[in-house]
Amino acid sequence: MKGDFELKIDDVLELSFLDESRAEELFELIDSNRQYLREWLPWLDNNKYLQNTIDFIKLSRKQYSNDISLNLAVCTGGTIAGIIGLHRFDWPNRSTHIGYWLGESYQGSGLITRSCRTLLDYAFNDIGLNRVEIRCAPGNSKSRAIPMRLGLKEEGVLRQAEWLYEHFVDHVVYSMLKDDWLKDG
């Protein structure tokens, strides 16, 4: 999994490796969507300055080179619309989970569904994983629609799984297994 990374999904949508040259563009997307993203994402208070985004990109590249995770820019028409990634590879158990977010104006056009489908194919067919999870807060209906649309199985709820500013939120766990993906996908 070494080297730069890009997955072209169609004529306008691609997933591309994060690069410092696009840090300002990514930071502006985050900053202009801060209130919108804050409802479900716990890291916004740790990304208040351009340098924080640069540090995130550097960390993402380091984690990728160490086979820990893969963070990608969701680009539509060449513009960064959000981030998607395979997080915390568990190589002995051949599993990972997908995390994602989009700027508000990019919602509702299928970008994340198509991006998740591409990452599922990559996880199962290219790097040999057996299990991929998506976890969403129960009240995050937009995020929960993605795994349901893709046929992931709802497994249950992790109670108080994430600290979200001043309270805990549960996570609904969805999973896809390689055999099911290859059979149904």
4: pLDDT strictly greater than 70: no
Name the region of 67 (left: φ>0; alpha: ψ -120 to 50; beta: rest). Answer: left
Q: What is the mean pLDDT of residues 52-59?
A: 97
| Overall number of domains in the chain | 1
Taking residue 140's Cβ as centre, other Cβ atoms within 10 Å add up to 15
Domain membership of residue 15 (yes or no) is: yes
Q: What is the mean pLDDT of residues 27-43?
A: 95
Beta strand ranges found along 18-113 (DSSP E): 70-76, 79-90, 95-102
CATH number at residue 101: 3.40.630.30
Q: How far apart are CA 27 and CA 47, in angstroms?
A: 8
pLDDT recorded at residue 97: 97
Q: How far apart are CA 84 and CA 72, in angstroms?
A: 5
160: pLDDT strictly greater than 80: yes
Domain membership of residue 142 (yes or no) is: no
- What residue numbers bound the domain in which 11 lies? 6-131
Lookup: tokens for 153: 């199985």
Domain membership of residue 69 (yes or no) is: yes
Confidence class for position 6, pLDDT limits 50, 70, 90: confident
